[in-house]
Amino acid sequence: MLKRGERRVLVWWIRFAQKHRDSSRLPIVLFLVLFMDGFTIIVPSTLCLIAATTISPQRWHWFAAIFATAATSNNAVMYFVGQSVPSDFIVRTVEFFHLTTMWASAQTAMYDYGPWATFMGAIIGLPTQMIMAIMGMNDAHLRAMDATMLTSFVPGVTLALLAHSMKAFGIAALARFGWVRLEKKFGNTTSE
């Protein structure tokens, strides 16, 4: 169930997408909404992708690529926040916004799976922003001890991009073609 503020943003987005269905503004604003959504959670980003794909279906693959790029860009920014902002300030901020449960799940995923946590997080809905921030904090700590240490940035961002792309293209394809049409097109065509 959407909260009142989320519903208002979604209605605004749908109206904007309808008005700019064929314009070059739609992809740019979609990128900005999805990128900012990773920081503020103003509206579920998947709904923005579905709305844009439904309103302007011929550009579904473009919108899926924008979704993956925006989400991964947000993750990359959070890595650098984790690397450059003092960790005690980050932890206090997480506590201030009552995100400790989400932070704990991100920490658990990061420590259990390393950079693969970004892949899993993007697929199943773990907070990849927090996972990348924790990765940045860990890398900053390790590099303080040994400056020659390689960072987890490239594997983390690469795996996040792969997972965000898989998720976005799957959702956009379903929104564009519908499940039945996809099943007819790619499903098992042999009779039993």
What is residue 66's predicted lDDT score, i.e. its pLDDT? Answer: 96
What is residue 30's predicted lDDT score, i.e. its pLDDT? Answer: 92
- Low-confidence stretches of the chain (pLDDT < 50) are 191-192
Residue 121 belongs to some domain of the structure: yes
Residue 188 belongs to some domain of the structure: no
Residue 186 belongs to some domain of the structure: no
Q: In this structure, what are the phi and psi dihedrals at residue 56, rounded to the nearest 5 degrees?
A: -130, 70
Tally of structural domains, the chain: 1
Residue 183 belongs to some domain of the structure: no
Residue 182 belongs to some domain of the structure: no
What is residue 125's predicted lDDT score, i.e. its pLDDT? Answer: 79
| Structural domain for 33, as ranges | 4-177
pLDDT digits (tens, 9 = 90+) for 11-40: 888 899 999 989 999 999 999 988 988 777
What is residue 89's predicted lDDT score, i.e. its pLDDT? Answer: 95
The two tokens of residue 107 are: 């920490």
What is residue 191's predicted lDDT score, i.e. its pLDDT? Answer: 46
What is residue 183's predicted lDDT score, i.e. its pLDDT? Answer: 64
Task: Give the span between the Cα atoms of 102 and 94, in whole angstroms.
Answer: 9
Burial class of residue 81, CB neighbours in 10 A (0-12, 13-18, 19+): middle
What is residue 192's predicted lDDT score, i.e. its pLDDT? Answer: 45
Residue 190 belongs to some domain of the structure: no
